[in-house]
Structure 1
Amino acid sequence: MPTSVDNLTDALLGPVLAADPAGPRVTYYDDATGERIELSASTLANWAAKTANMVRDEFALEPGGKVVVLLPAHWQSVAVLLGVWWAGGEVVLSPDADAELAFVTADRLDDVADIPEVAALSLDAFGKGLSDLPLGVTDYATSIRVHGDQFRSNGAGYALEGRDVAATVAAATAAATARGVTSSDRVLSSLPWDSAEELIDGLLAVLAGGASLVQVAHPDAEAIARRVGTEKITTQF
């Protein structure tokens, strides 16, 4: 289990990077499209670093700045969240007029019309960007490519909807303990991450426990049943 540090990404991802940087950490399925992608802790760290560099250099967000994240439970959402936290941002999961930056899917742009900086994600499996975005909205898939994949983390006062780093780590660790999640587990889940509590239970608890996550969108019952064996699942949420 992680210990409290000044940065949430360091607290959750750091121990995993030290213990098993190359093993599968997040595997994402979409049963509606057949998409499957698997990322190691090192690959997640690279994506998170690119996002953190974007947050700092392209959007000039200072540590402590508030960032709206309106994204589904998706592997790219993990990269965005870890990147925002690495840059010292506070994540909020609903529209907030006090936010300085938002990461959203294209269908949520109206929800963040009053936020100064917005990055839109296509969530395309092949990295295809979005076209015909409103003036001033950044296409994440295109812009992320130019940013470096190394980042030195920044501290922050708050991490997740008013919770500081220590409180968020404690909540994630408690959720992992309650579910019996350990570093030997391979967790299968279709839980949403739409609220702080859901995000803690469905994602952060897995990271806090040092486990590996298999996240499934639009789950198909027959495919899920087969996947328990093929993905060597040990526990399901």
Structure 2
Amino acid sequence: MGDQRDGFDYDAELRRYQPRLIEAMAVGNRDTVVDIGCGTGQTSRAAAGLATDGSVLGVDVNPVMLERARRLSDGLENLRFDEGDAQVYPFPQGFSLAISRFGTMFFADPVAAFTNIRRALQPGARLVQLVWQSGDHQEWAHAIQGALGGTVPSGGAFSLSEPSTVDGMLTSAGFTGITVTDVREPVWYGANPDAAVDAVLALQMGSGAATQPDALDRLHQVMTKHNTDDGVWFDSRAWIITARTAG
């Protein structure tokens, strides 16, 4: 069972991105890691499996997902989870690595959040985060919103899509050595068109429009068009953004 926030399986959706992020994280066996917006902890568990002589803390604002994360992580003694908002959470000090898989885009005050994260890191520590590029590069967003008669927003999930903006935020928060890497992988919406439609309804994309019969018909047509032997897939693009603390 994966990260099922709002009834949607994000672990399954992001299965092609996960190995790209793990590679970029480059977790060492002695690393002390904090996972920001950890959800049900898939990336936290991956980090814990690599930091065999270190430790991992997963932080998220959703207590239901954290409870599931704890159940799924039973037996990993170097991994723990806590509820908190990264903007104000009292992080322990001295982490060597901060990571996030699509968990940093919804901060009300990104500079405050990244500053708080930076303060928890030791000198020379790394920050590695995966964020969406703009909605213009997301086939899933255009296809689904088009079927539902909506538009793709510029903020929200895409709030960190502009590299120069993120560079400014991270610099203001005290990070240096910022790099941005383009990654392109398909995202998975379900094993078949019916399941993919159910996934969109679980996400409440399009709000009330998604319950209209004609919208549901258009949505099902879109999912059928993108159906493969391995389920329903859409193109997408993201950034892997890395930075370091001074020292």
> Normalising by structure 2, what TM-score?
0.31
Larger radius of gyration: 2
Kindly indicate which of the two structures has a greater share of residues assigned to strand.
Answer: 2
> Normalising by structure 1, what TM-score?
0.32
